[in-house]
Amino acid sequence: MVSPARRFRRGILIFTGAVFLVLSGLSGHAADQKTDMRLTIREAVEKALADNHAIKAVKSGLAAGRQDIGIARSYLLPKISLEERYLRTNTPGYAFMSKLNQSRIAAADFNPDFLNSPEAINDYQSSIAVEQPIFVKKALVGLEMSRTESLAKEEDVRRKEEEIAFSVVRACLSVLTAGEYVQVAELGVRDARERLRIAELRYKNDVGQYADALRTATSLTEARQKLNVARKNVSLARRALGVLLALPDSPDVVDAAFDLSLQELTFYTASAEKRADVRALELRGENARNNIRLAEAGYFPYVGVGGSYQFNDHNAPLGSEGKSWQVMAFVRWDLFDGTKREYERAKAKHQEAQVREHLAAMKKSVSFQIYEAYLNVGEARQNIALAEEALKTAEEGARLLKLRYENGLSSLSDLLNTQASLEQARAGVVETKNAYKTALAGLHFESGTLLQNLKNGQSRPLGEKP
């Protein structure tokens, strides 16, 4: 008979085991949920725009750059300062003026002996001062330049978003293409098994050679190796997509449905004039011209007003034995600065010419990139039709060679060569379709319309015309 203590321990063990199994199941379910994220291409792009580290870094740079506007504006706002100063002196002039500021001057202080040889005196001077610029040409131009540069940084952010979106589209297409390569490899394994079955059957029926069975077995092993490589490539493609989306896991892509239609070349050329990086360089060209104005601003005077209120005491800081104030207006004009302004102006002109040439070169380069991308789309579309035609002929050739081999009319080498051509044709169809989708996405990226199409269009298969 089992003792109560033993029954108790057994119950504890059973309960602990049950809890462990439940927790294991929950953690396994959570892990499955973590690795089973499935996204459309548009959803992947949206997530990258929200979470990608590179985009966040550029946006932080934009936020930092916007602070330059406030910094530039501060040069036009009043400056208020509080100062506490301590002085101990027996210098006649300072000693007399200190007592005068402290409102402690008496008739005895005018005694020549006291004026010429005063005793050491303490002076605690507290003051609050205000200075307001009225006209500062450099500050006005600098404020305008900081605003222009902020607009240019906004365009930099937009271009970075387009770059990341294009990278995400390519990564999604890589995931889909890698999955199709797995299907191609699985068909290769299936065909290799069928060839092995036929070779073994012919050998058993004494109509084939044992070497053929060995050769087909080797072919099956090679097909399995290709399948392993294809599956590894799927995992790598998914992980690469996860890195772009700032995810710790490897998401999957469910389809390639999103808007990208093919337009005329003139549409993309016209759209490229508003491309974010082109616009950013145009704004910086405007700032280069403003930089000339900034250098020329050194020829203008600095005009301002100011005032201060002052307390003086000989006993303690912030004392107020004596009180006084003053207001002022001033003009500060640098008449000669060693020709510094002339060199700054000449330098700014050369820099403006440099930016202007860079902009002209960029526009020509963008035009060429769009032309090249447009031709790539046309080439890829034609290659799809050719690849599909090649697949049909390869499939028919493989079917006929299989029948001839089964009837002893063709050698195994011919069959394997034909099968290799079939596998290459299958892979060619996958490759050309991916190349077309990637080329079309690249065309929209080069023209700066990729994000606009992804955000505003209705979902439909990639590359399908409206």
Query: What pLDDT is recorded for position 256?
Result: 59
Contact 456, 261 (CB under 8 A): no
Q: How many angstroms separate the Cα of 196 from the Cα of each of 20, 217, 405, 416, 425?
A: 47, 6, 12, 11, 21
Query: What pLDDT is recorded for position 402?
Result: 80
Distance CA(202)–CA(207), nearest Å, equals: 5
Query: What pLDDT is recorded for position 26?
Result: 42
**CATH number, domain with residue 209:** 1.20.1600.10
Domain boundary among 279, 314, 332: 332
Q: Which residues of the chain have pLDDT under 50?
A: 1-2, 4-6, 8-10, 12-34, 458-466
Contact 378, 357 (CB under 8 A): no
- Number of structural domains (the chain) is 2
The verdict on residue 10 lying in a domain is: no
The verdict on residue 379 lying in a domain is: yes
* CA angle, residues 405, 408, 413, in degrees to nearest 5: 50
The verdict on residue 26 lying in a domain is: no
Considering the domain architecture, whether residues 105 and 178 belong to the same structural domain is answered as: no
Selection from 266, 82, 192 nearest residue 423 by Cα: 192
For residue range 62-108, list pLDDT tens digits in order.
999 999 999 999 999 999 999 999 999 999 888 889 888 888 888 88
The verdict on residue 270 lying in a domain is: yes
Domain boundary among 317, 332, 347: 332
Considering the domain architecture, whether residues 179 and 305 belong to the same structural domain is answered as: no
The verdict on residue 213 lying in a domain is: yes
User: How would you classify the pairing of strands 322-332 and 121-135?
Assistant: unpaired
Query: What pLDDT is recorded for position 36?
Result: 67
Considering the domain architecture, whether residues 175 and 278 belong to the same structural domain is answered as: yes
Distance CA(387)–CA(424), nearest Å, equals: 10
Selection from 158, 170, 161 nearest residue 49 by Cα: 161
Q: Which helix (H) or strand (E) element contains residue 111?
A: none
Considering the domain architecture, whether residues 241 and 288 belong to the same structural domain is answered as: yes
Considering the domain architecture, whether residues 41 and 87 belong to the same structural domain is answered as: no
Q: Which helix (H) or strand (E) element contains residue 324?
A: strand 322-332
Query: What pLDDT is recorded for position 134?
Result: 94
| The two three-digit tokens of residue 342, written as one number | 């002339």
For residue range 389-441, list pLDDT tens digits in order.
988 988 888 888 788 877 777 777 777 777 888 888 888 888 888 899 999 99
Query: What pLDDT is recorded for position 332?
Result: 92
Considering the domain architecture, whether residues 228 and 114 belong to the same structural domain is answered as: no
Query: What pLDDT is recorded for position 159?
Result: 95
Query: What pLDDT is recorded for position 465?
Result: 38
Query: What pLDDT is recorded for position 259?
Result: 61
* Residue indicated by tokens 């540069």: 149
The verdict on residue 94 lying in a domain is: yes
Cα 342 to its chain centre, rounded Å, is 40
**Other Cβ atoms closer than 10 A to 104:** 15
Considering the domain architecture, whether residues 144 and 121 belong to the same structural domain is answered as: no
Query: What pLDDT is recorded for position 257?
Result: 61
Helix axes 340-406, 276-296, angle to 10 degrees: 170
Considering the domain architecture, whether residues 233 and 175 belong to the same structural domain is answered as: yes
The verdict on residue 462 lying in a domain is: no
Considering the domain architecture, whether residues 328 and 183 belong to the same structural domain is answered as: no
The verdict on residue 110 lying in a domain is: yes
Domain that holds residue 421: 37-73+139-293+339-456
246: left (phi over 0), alpha (psi -120 to 50) or beta: left
Contact 447, 271 (CB under 8 A): yes
Cα 235 to its chain centre, rounded Å, is 24
Selection from 15, 442, 412 nearest residue 214 by Cα: 412
* Residue 403: exposure state from Cβ atoms within 10 A (0-12, 13-18, ≥19): exposed
Considering the domain architecture, whether residues 384 and 443 belong to the same structural domain is answered as: yes
Considering the domain architecture, whether residues 203 and 245 belong to the same structural domain is answered as: yes
Considering the domain architecture, whether residues 381 and 360 belong to the same structural domain is answered as: yes
